Structure 1
């Protein structure tokens, strides 16, 4: 990615002629909004974008009820072609492409007390002739596109037969056989009981070793049980085996019976709480035809209860479009969108969940990077969070809403591990969990990108790590056995990621 070096005429804003209804504006943009963890102005000044159109965002202004976005190909913004939008949110994705070339943009806000503010400084960006189209349909259009039947996760009724047939060949066959064997071995195991948490009475400090150990045990227990649920549900989806399907249903109904205000509630461990909500929703989608009306209602009620807590925290009290740099909040917004997409037409509120979560998710994807594909949190969190991003991306794709793998960040993301986290690294770099070296999560992500983009360099980078693939459920759909490997001979030995300021320098990317 490159930058436009030509500076804007410093007097261009003074020379611009605002529409008549805004000429008496008095308010200015609060400077402190740009100095903290708020939505940034995007596209950044002088961006050369490979995405058409780029994502637009600006700081959330408390009390603002409207924003006015203007674009023009004239620097003075007082004549010529212009795109204008009156918006209720501080972000926007155009539903159509823009002309290639240089564009100028600005935004202002409105509130009842002071009317319209002054314009923000004019920023410019350039759309290249070779940019990849990324129009984002209005949310009403995406809702209309979405699959109305079940399943919706990774497949849909129209392509289910072909999806099932994948288990007969290649990596998908290995994934199926491994998962099938694990499910058969667990059929006689007891159903997981609602766990206890020993310190719900506040008898231990939340930072004490005993409390932390109890949290770790709770998550390990719940994740293991949820793995059983998804494995059995997935095998039923692929085979229609009624014995396995009934086992999956029994597991799902057991999770449904757990006390949402007990040990697995949000304020004790949000990761456990959200995992039960979204993974139960996926299982519900895959075993839907086995559930009675009463059982469906019970699952829907449990999911609604758990999602309500997530929405209250991350869309009401601490909304993601005001505070985008929240690691757990960002992941949870994706899960809200995922659950809403699965439960659309089944839970009345699910449409509102989709409307509230998916537009900011698409615009912000991800808060930790930009068009160059880099990740500001460092390599450890890239391994965990990037995989979480793709949970919703995959479901939106299989449900027919939008392909987020076309977004510039997604297309360039593979460069980040190739340069910043290559095979042979003794550890990662920057941020939490930087002590981890490239491992199974990296292999899964690289294999996925190799498959989606048909990129043999990613396939080579994945296999060069040297670990055996974990053969998780995602590998069933993202393992292109026909794709060869290509060592990294055609890439420069160094790379600058301007979005995050990272620079990588190597003497040989292949070693």
Structure 2
């Protein structure tokens, strides 16, 4: 096993906080370089230099850690080590230090348990919660009436025209023969997704059965698109990205208009699409992007995975991991 403390390569996030620095945020995010053989990490921090009073977190999945409570002002010492899948444990890294002052901004990271409690098990979850709906519906009948009417007019046009079809050409920016369709496929996908969002949101706002069947139809239309086709992540990530977060939005808002069979179909296709993104060079199963967070594509994918994770938390088992990654990314390596 390679020892900890490898020198950062160009593009890697490296070791943070900078050794000996005074941090601006409390608690600071502790970050180190991910090693491919590492299945998990142990991390310790303490007030004493010999770490005899250390707080220890064991078998942490990510190469970053942000505590869920602020630290008391003072000087701290920390280190990490790696664990492999076969049970081998590396030596501890060198000890690094940082200082927390009373002026640091308090910004603890919620635990996964806290996040799950806050998100809950009902729908909707994205941008609006069930408790918000009465006030939002009342607003739509008063100050927001004109905006609601505008949305309804757009919906009427959609009902006449029908859903935007799936792109027909499997186009890649790397293929001179199909490159001309690469960006238009994304635009076509965004349009189709926004149609489903509109109808689903209108059903949520109005509770009008007139929008229930169209919302269901548009959501299932998107769920029928081939994840190995023109919107495949590896073929055209730009066409795939809208499906990664906009279909979950429409699903969340139209949840009670869908049949359980329909929900299962959407979950199955979103598991496949999110897994494609998760394994891509943009995310590299989380730790890859956390170690190299400067990539612009990866910085446009993590929060889409987060939306997807929130929509399907408790319904797709992997959603918990996607959410945990996204929250660690937000606290430890964003913005870059």
Asked whether the two chains share a fold, i.e. TM above 0.5, the reply is yes
Contact 1:260 1:305 in 2 (8 A): yes
User: Which residue in 2 is equivalent to 1:131?
Assistant: 104
Alignment of 1:30 with 2:6, yes or no, is yes
The structure with higher relative contact order (CA 8 Å, sep 6+) is: 2
Structure 2 gap ranges (5+): none
Structure 1 unaligned regions, length at least 5: 1-25, 369-511
Compute the displacement of 1:248 (Å). Answer: 2.1
The corresponding residue for 1:192 is: 164
Q: Give 3-state SS (helix, strand or coil) of 1:297's partner.
A: helix
Call closer, same or farther: CA 1:318–1:110 in 2, change over 3 Å: closer
Query: Is the 2:4–2:82 Cα contact (8 Å) retained in structure 1?
Result: no
Q: Is the 8 A contact 1:324 1:367 kept in 2?
A: no
Q: 1:177 to 1:365 in 2, by over 3 A?
A: farther
Contact 2:79 2:92 in 1 (8 A): no
The one-character-per-residue Cα deviations of 1:295-333 (angstroms, maximum 9, x if unpaired) are 222222221221221122234498323332322223322
SS in 2 for 1:194: coil
TM-score between both structures, scaled by the size of structure 1: 0.58
Q: Within 2, Cα distance between the matches of 1:240 and 1:147?
A: 22
The 5 A counterparts of 1:106-505 are: 106-109=79-82, 115-117=89-91, 119-120=93-94, 122-124=96-98, 126-168=99-141, 175-197=147-169, 206=174, 208=176, 211-313=178-280, 314-316=283-285, 319-355=288-324, 357-368=325-336
Query: Alpha carbons of 1:244 and 1:326: their partners in 2 closer, same or farther (altered >3 Å)?
Result: same
Structure 1: distance between partners of 2:164 and 2:171: 21
Q: If the length of structure 2 is used for normalisation, what is the TM-score?
A: 0.85
Q: Measured at CA, do residues 58 and 48 of structure 1 come closer, stay the same or move farther in structure 2, by a change above 3 Å? A: same
The answer as to whether partners of 1:91 and 1:363 remain within 8 angstroms in 2 is no
User: 1:212–1:37: structure 2 CA closer, same or farther, 3 Å change rule?
Assistant: same
- Residue 56 of structure 2 corresponds to 84
Shift of 1:195: 1.9
Q: CA deviation at 1:197?
A: 0.8
Distance 1:231 1:91, change over 3 A: same
Contact (CA 8 Å) 2:30, 2:66: kept in 1 or not?
Answer: yes
State how far apart, in whole Å, the 2-side matches of 1:294 and 1:64 are.
Answer: 39
Match of 1:58 in 2: 32
Give CA-to-partner distance per residue, 1:400-423, whole Å, 9 cap, x none.
xxxxxxxxxxxxxxxxxxxxxxxx
Deviation string, structure 1 residues 24-64 (Cα, Å, up to 9, x no partner): xx946222xx1322232122235443422111111112323
Q: 1:309 to 1:291 in 2, by over 3 A?
A: same
- Rounded to whole Å, the distance in 2 between the matches of 1:79 and 1:257 is 55
Once the two structures are TM-superposed, the CA of residue 138 in structure 1 deviates from its matched residue by 2.5
Residues 101 and 316 of structure 1, relative CA distance in 2, 3 Å threshold: closer
- Deviation string, structure 1 residues 192-245 (Cα, Å, up to 9, x no partner): 222211658xxxx8264x633211211121111222111222122111122223
Partner SS for 1:188: helix
> Retained in 1: the 8 A contact 2:51–2:77?
no
2:72 aligned with 1:93, yes or no?
Answer: no
Deviating more after overlay: 80-89 vs 109-118? 109-118
Following TM superposition, by how much is the alpha carbon of 1:365 offset from its aligned partner in structure 2, in angstroms? 4.5
Task: Tell me how many residue pairs correspond in the alignment.
Answer: 332
User: Is the Cα contact below 8 Å between 1:29 and 1:118 reproduced in 2?
Assistant: no
What's the CA shift string for 1:472-499, capped at 9, x where partnerless? xxxxxxxxxxxxxxxxxxxxxxxxxxxx
Question: 1:175: how far off?
Answer: 4.4
Return the index of the structure with the highest Cα Rg: 1
Equivalent in the alignment of 1:429: none
